[in-house]
Amino acid sequence: MNLATADNQAGTRRAPFAAGTQTPVLKVENLEVTYYTDLGRAKALDDVSFDLHAGQKLGMVGESGSGKSTLALAMMRMIKQPGRIEGGTVTIDGTELMGLKDEDMRKARLSKIAYIPQGAMNSLNPVTRIGEQMVDAVKSHLNGQSRAAIHERCIHALKSVDLDPAVFRMYAHELSGGMKQRVCIAIGILLEPKVIICDEPTSALDVVTQRQVMETIDRVQKQINAAVILIGHDMGLMAQFVDKVAVMYAGRLVEISTVREMFTEPKHPYAQALISSLPNLDNKGVFQGIPGLAPSLLRLPSGCAFHPRCPYASDRSRSEKPKLKALPGGRMVACHLYDQDALNV
């Protein structure tokens, strides 16, 4: 994708992001996740903090292993052994999830926060009809509703994602990949959650179906005014569908910017390298990768984790870990290059 074209699309499609004094519907503070393995202790999330307002879409990008899916599972409190959530809070609409009892957290899933998984074909029960799975999800959260009311809610959710009501009586194997993904979206919006996490929802789909699924997510998000976190690698999709972009590296957030700022003027050297690696119509056939490899979480470099690959590395970046700081205009960057700018905010 031509970056100028992507920026024009982003600029004309949405108004500039501005939170003002509005209270965030989602507030993640100092979230930490560690995996204890036979080879040692791997910190998969390191002091991750960000806010998101109702109706906003945040794109979460970074190389494989940077912590994007771990962040999603941690917010859902679905980290399995040998992983452990070791600190931090996740607050949705005034409710802090990390302090909830297990039963209360189970009820918060779908009603306050929903998770649309990467592999829809592995998320649906193959021997249970789609409708039964939807009804079970509603019954486990809403007591006392009549069967007719539950059925109507499920059919409405299916129609919201452009699926025929007949899908209610079908099995997962009777659906195409795109239809399965839309069923997962329908289940995710059954109880109109405040936050929806989409973990690479289009990774196994062809490009036409990808766009259909993303347009579905875009439409239902507007209907219920939810905040959406879109995890993925496709920067073209990010340019077209999100308001803000957060870049992760080695378990840490290194930059959070509006989508226009990210595509036209990324600040963090890693974000700059990501944008520079995108195909460009002005340089057909020229591909530019990021030198070096992402570090092992078991043996992270001292200081800034990106410094072995960074063209601007200094003695300070090799010894001192940079903190995520606000720059003029509201973007957040974790890099010593901008320390003075952060002090002048």
User: Is 90 exceeded by the pLDDT of residue 259?
Assistant: yes
Record the pTM.
0.88
Please say if the pLDDT value at position 17 is more than 50. no
Q: What gap in Å lies between CA 151 and CA 156, rounded to an integer?
A: 9
pLDDT value of position 207: 84
pLDDT per residue over 114-125, tens digit each?
999 877 667 899
List, in sequence order, every residue forming a beta bridge with 252; answer none if it has no partner: 249
The answer, yes or no, to whether residue 10 has pLDDT greater than 90, is no
- The answer on pLDDT for 14 being more than 60 is no
User: What pLDDT, on the 0 to 100 scale, is given for residue 281?
Assistant: 67
Q: Is the pLDDT of residue 272 over 90?
A: yes
- The pLDDT mean for the chain works out to 88
pLDDT over 70, % of the chain = 90
Residue-wise pLDDT tens digits, 74-109: 999 999 999 999 999 999 999 999 999 999 999 999
Q: Which domains does the chain have, with CATH numbers?
A: 3-14+22-112+193-261 (3.40.50.300)
One-character DSSP codes across 256-273: EEEHHHHHH---SHHHHH
**Distinct helix (H) and strand (E) counts, the chain:** 12, 12
Band of pLDDT at residue 343, cut at 50, 70 and 90: low
Secondary element (H or E) of residue 245? strand 244-249
The most confident of 137-141, 152-156, 198-202, by mean pLDDT: 152-156
pLDDT above 50 for 9: no
The pLDDT, as a whole number, for residue 253 is 96
pLDDT of residue 27: 97
Q: List, in sequence order, every residue forming a beta bridge with 61; answer none if it has no partner.
A: 247
Q: What is the mean pLDDT of residues 36-47?
A: 93
Distance CA 345, CA 329 (A): 9
The answer to whether residue 295 scores a pLDDT higher than 70 is yes
Taking a C-beta distance cutoff of 8 angstroms, is the pair 180, 118 a contact? Answer: no
